[in-house]
């Protein structure tokens, strides 16, 4: 609306967001920024933007909190607040684009080129809003569908439905364990949708969309970093022609699991590759600001608790 005076545009722009910025932190020499937003009804939303050489990736939330209760995840430990609506999901991308236009990350595109639904919440548990938000990102914000990745813990009906939407978005499946017993101990939803059903739905997604699945694996010391798990995972990945992304656990205040040491990461990756899986170990961005799933919220809630007890 360039026909309006600048002052009015600025005043309007500040009121357009469906949330307020409650906290912002930067890390990795300014290449990672994390935001905690707060809606009028006090729901928390977090997003992280990360600059790379030829892409700028934004990690967004689909729900405030999450009902899935994965034992190692800070968001899961907090429980479910509510679904985010379509505007609240899309506004995270618009906010990041507005931020980057003013303060680009040096050497990275000055707009969001990639979106991953790896912030708070289970996107396929908020299916209709997430799919509507995907359409808006593609049709209105002009993002390439192929540069958007939905990450799921294995909501099988949602995976199958998404396969039939005719969208070219990527699908990441958070597996974390290669047998039902271990997986159920980490991901309670595995009782409802066991591993074989999740794998079959992933295969269906690949078949329908032609897009290769990626498998997410959060590595935890002495839990899922064994050679046995690595070889079983490699078998699953090969059958799906999937790429495996391994990240080290970011320990949360409430989990008993520990991050793996460097040598067990190396051994795990070696076993995967020796068994013919395509796999990458992803260095965690923003470690010093707790940028992994759900962590900003923990810090902020802990600060709030501290503040209220010291009053």
**Cβ pair 158, 125 in contact under 8 A:** yes
Q: Rounded to the nearest whole angstrom, what is the least distance from the CB of residue 217 to ligand SAH in the complex?
A: 8
153 binding ligand SF4? (CB under 6 A): yes
Cβ contacts of 210-213, under 8 Å, gap ≥ 24:
211/146, 211/168, 211/169, 211/170, 211/171, 212/240, 212/241, 212/242, 212/243, 213/171, 213/172, 213/173, 213/240, 213/242, 213/243
66 binding ligand SF4? (CB under 6 A): yes
Q: Which does 118 bind (CB under 5 to 8 A by kind): ligand SF4, ligand SAH, none?
A: ligand SAH
Using CB under 6 A, which of 293, 295, 296, 297 touches ligand SF4?
293
**Cβ pair 202, 240 in contact under 8 A:** yes
Number of helices and strands in the chain (H, E): 10, 12
Q: Which does 115 bind (CB under 5 to 8 A by kind): ligand SF4, ligand SAH, none?
A: none
Question: Which residues within the stretch 107-126 sit at the binding site for ligand SF4 (CB under 6 A)?
Answer: 121-122
3-class secondary-structure state, position 288:
helix
Q: Give the x/- contact pattern for ligand SF4 in 76-105, rule: CB under 6 A.
A: x-----------------------------
The CB-nearest residue to ligand SF4 is 76
Verify whether residue 70 is a known catalytic residue.
Answer: no
48 binding ligand SF4? (CB under 6 A): no
Q: Which does 292 bind (CB under 5 to 8 A by kind): ligand SF4, ligand SAH, none?
A: ligand SAH
216 binding ligand SF4? (CB under 6 A): no
Q: CA 217, 215, 286: angle at the middle one, nearest 5?
A: 55
CA 86 to each of CA 19, 89, 191, 243: distance values in angstroms, whole numbers, following the listed order: 13, 5, 30, 30
**Cβ pair 89, 62 in contact under 8 A:** yes
Q: Rounded to the nearest whole angstrom, what is the least distance from the CB of residue 70 to ligand SAH in the complex?
A: 6
CA 221 to each of CA 136, 190, 282: distance values in angstroms, whole numbers, following the listed order: 40, 21, 16
Helices of type H across the chain: 6-16, 74-78, 86-102, 127-139, 156-163, 180-186, 195-209, 227-240, 262-274, 295-309
Q: Rounded to the nearest whole angstrom, what is the least distance from the CB of residue 75 to ligand SF4 in the complex?
A: 4
Using CB under 6 A, which of 56, 57, 75, 224 touches ligand SF4?
75
Annotated active-site residue in 59, 66, 73, 293 = 293
Q: Which does 56 bind (CB under 5 to 8 A by kind): ligand SF4, ligand SAH, none?
A: none
Q: Which does 225 bind (CB under 5 to 8 A by kind): ligand SF4, ligand SAH, none?
A: none
Q: How far apart are CA 145 and CA 216, in angstroms?
A: 20
Choose between 32 and 61: whose C-beta lies nearer to ligand SF4: 61
Choose between 39 and 295: whose C-beta lies nearer to ligand SAH: 295
Choose between 56 and 75: whose C-beta lies nearer to ligand SF4: 75
Annotated active-site residue in 46, 81, 88, 216 = 46
SS3 content of the chain, % helix, strand, coil (to 5): 45, 20, 35
Terminal-to-terminal C-alpha distance of the chain: 46
Residues lying near ligand SAH in the complex (CB under 6 A) are found at: 72-74, 117-118, 122, 151-153, 174, 216, 218, 247, 249-250, 252, 292-293
Residues with a known catalytic role: 46, 293
């Amino acid at each position: 609306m360039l026909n309006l005076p600048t002052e009015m545009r600025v005043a309007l722009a500040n009121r357009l967001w469906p949330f307020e910025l409650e906290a912002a932190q930067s890390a990795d020499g300014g290449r990672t920024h994390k935001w905690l937003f707060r809606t009028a009804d006090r729901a928390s939303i977090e997003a992280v933007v990360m600059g790379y050489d030829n892409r700028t990736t934004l990690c967004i939330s689909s729900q405030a909190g999450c009902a899935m209760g994965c034992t190692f995840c800070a968001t899961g430990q907090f429980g479910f607040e509510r679904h985010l609506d379509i505007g609240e999901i899309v506004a995270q991308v618009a906010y990041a684009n507005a931020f980057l236009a003013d303060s680009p990350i040096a050497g990275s595109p000055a707009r969001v080129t990639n979106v991953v639904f790896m912030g708070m919440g289970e996107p396929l548990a908020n299916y209709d809003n997430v799919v509507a938000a995907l359409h808006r990102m593609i049709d209105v914000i002009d993002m390439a569908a192929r540069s958007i990745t939905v990450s799921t813990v294995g909501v099988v009906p949602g995976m199958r439905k998404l396969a039939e939407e005719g969208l070219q978005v990527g699908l990441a499946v958070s597996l974390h364990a290669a047998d039902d017993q271990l997986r159920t101990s980490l991901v309670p939803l595995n009782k409802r949708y066991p591993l074989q059903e999740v794998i079959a739905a992933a295969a269906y997604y690949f078949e329908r969309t032609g897009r290769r699945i990626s498998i997410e694996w959060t590595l935890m010391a002495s839990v899922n970093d064994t050679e046995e798990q690595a070889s079983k995972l490699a078998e699953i990945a090969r059958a799906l022609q999937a790429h495996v992304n391994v990240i080290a656990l970011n320990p949360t205040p409430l989990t008993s699991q520990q991050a793996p040491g460097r040598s067990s990461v190396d051994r795990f990756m070696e076993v995967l590759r020796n068994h013919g899986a395509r796999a990458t170990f992803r260095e965690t961005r923003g470690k010093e600001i707790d940028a992994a799933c759900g962590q900003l919220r923990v810090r902020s809630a802990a600060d709030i608790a501290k503040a209220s007890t010291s009053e």
